Structure 1
């Protein structure tokens, strides 16, 4: 049962409210594990196998970390020297040629925004006065109203290799859609090196290939209302994902109210009504951005693509479980 408080079999940090907990078998004879901080969270790589199989994994794992770090630097909103910063600097002025990875991610973001009726919107970066880490701050309502004019996914223009944010003040926040492709890229490096069994946990977003010592990887879904208990569990088959979104990790309380980092594009204020969402599926494109959309929209079967299973916990504790192949076993 993984969490930032240190529950868990192998100490991975889960940031989401319904934090998936990779349950690595304690009886496993061999397991190579590495952890690093990327994308503002703890990322863990786990590779099971015999001693001889694990002996030569240092180079592939180093290459996987390097690729994930490269993409993080490219897509982060917190750097002043990458294409995301350059687009913000030229917002409302002129288009820029951007790397293919960013362009493809923005095309995917626009598709999720359209499907969700704008509930998911990477231009929420314009609400730049929020601070959830370190010096926490609550923006004045009038500032959010002004910044609202720069929030509209439809104002992202993509023409060939060029991208334009066509309103002054527009800024991208790719935090809701960049992590899964980055994790998938790291796993792809391992697979190209011949790795057949591995699990990667990026702050509660979990991707597994192969098996753990001949058995399916087991993932637990932590109960947001009782963090030391599980809502349920799911076996992750080869190529399976568990993806989570929630309102309790990057947050603060003020005036008796809790404020968190998942913002409603329409207002700039944090979403309400849903504590957390966990999704199960195999297609990363179908899963990407969906958790944020459900945090805003609430239970909505029309948002679930084929093959995606969702478990949602409302603010009042009620659960919603739908879609997929009913792989989640609720406690």
Structure 2
């Protein structure tokens, strides 16, 4: 079995993002920097949160731009370390170690993410549940190629229950009520972490920037005076694009899919990393989806919703998207059918035209 570092490196090679920023005909994240007379532009890529995180920014003198990009990565790394279930010293691991014993005082940033996760769990009737960390039999991060034993999974699924996570906002503490319970914030921590990186750039006066974390794309302003171009991969054939969107101003395009990370297919049945909290097994719903929200509150609108739709299915996803007038979406279902909200379809048609 591979060690964690080797597995993380392989994961970076395998991961295919549904949302793909396109800059000047090339792909964001190939390294290097492009220097124009005005404005100055920089691109940078680093491995973080099990994926490649890319930043493109422009509009400041080179030294200030470089410092801002470095500071954004430092802040994102700090938060990623805090919210990781793979770092033995993280507060998330501490909560699991103290399960059934005592509450654990947690940083304010982590508390806010967990409160948002609890709210989404209630909203979706448990289709999203951060206590899926108890399903330790699944180890896609370590190159797993065999299905876990059913008896082991059946024992672990009994420990998945968001209602048995007690969050005391006044005391700043979190308590898992049963030994063996554990948290996995993979479906809800990444967007706040990427948002924090974008906030660092904004605080440094960078008005035009994009951060892409494995297909979750924050954008602000424009690129070379034109809208950002972001292509949407086809989950059925990840080497091709369904189309591209032109976006400017401020917003977020978030993607989820069963093709994004390591998976295997024993006996012809596809096993992937998005787990259904109700069964303890990989979801059988959509292959992938992209959600678009504009404005400063995009994270609140989208965070965790992609994972919930992957569990809840196409019909529930459509209802959630259509009920929110500020939300656009595209869903590719398990049978290959594609549904798009009117705004998403219009954006993709306009780009193809």
Match of 1:214 among 225, 232, 244: 225
SS state at 1:43 partner: strand
For structure 2, the 5+ residue unaligned runs are 1-11, 27-33
**TM-superposition CA deviations, 1:102-128 (whole Å, max 9, x none):** 111010001111111111111111001
Which has the larger share of helix? 2
Q: CA deviation at 1:156?
A: 1.3
Rounded Cα–Cα distance in structure 2 between residues aligned with 1:214 and 1:192: 21
Q: Is 1:253 equivalent to 2:284 in the alignment? A: no
Q: Show the counterpart of 2:108.
A: 100
Give how far 1:63 is off. Answer: 0.9
1:162 aligns with 2:161: no
2:172 aligned with 1:192: no
Counterpart contact for 1:15–1:204, Cα < 8 Å: no
Query: 2: distance between equivalents of 1:118 and 1:60?
Result: 39
- What is aligned with 1:125? 133
Aligned to 1:5: none
Q: 1:140 aligns with which of 149, 153, 166?
A: 149
User: Residues 26 and 320 from structure 1, CA distance in 2 versus in 1: closer, same or farther, beyond 3 angstroms?
Assistant: closer
Structure 1 residues 157-205: Cα deviation after superposition (integer angstroms, max 9, x where no partner):
1112111111221110000000000000011011101111010000110
Change (3 A) 1:135 1:231: closer
Q: Deviations over 1:191-236 (max 9, x none)?
A: 1011110100001100010101111101111112222321122122
Equivalence for 2:43: 33
**Residues 293 and 302 of structure 2 are in contact (CA less than 8 Å); yes or no, is this contact kept in structure 1?**
yes
Residues 58, 65 of structure 2: 8 Å contact kept: no
Q: Are residues 1:270 and 2:289 paired?
A: no
1:317 matched to which residue of 2? 336
Q: Give the CA deviation at 1:285.
A: 1.1
Is 1:45–2:80 an aligned residue pair?
no
Q: Indicate the SS of the match to 1:241.
A: strand
In the alignment, which of 96, 99, 102 is matched to residue 88 of structure 1? Answer: 96
**Could you tell me whether the CA contact under 8 Å between 1:110 and 1:153 is conserved in 2?**
yes
Q: Which moved more, 1:194-203 or 1:58-67?
A: 58-67
Q: 1:134 to 1:169 in 2, by over 3 A?
A: closer
Corresponding residue number in structure 2 for 1:279: 291
Within 1, Cα distance between the matches of 2:250 and 2:181? 36
Which aligned pairs between 1:58-69 and structure 2 lie closer than 5 A?
58-69=66-77
Kept in 2, the 8 Å contact 1:16–1:276? The answer is no
CA distance in 1, matches of 2:187, 2:205: 30
The residue that corresponds to 2:64 in the other structure is 56
Q: How many matched pairs? A: 317
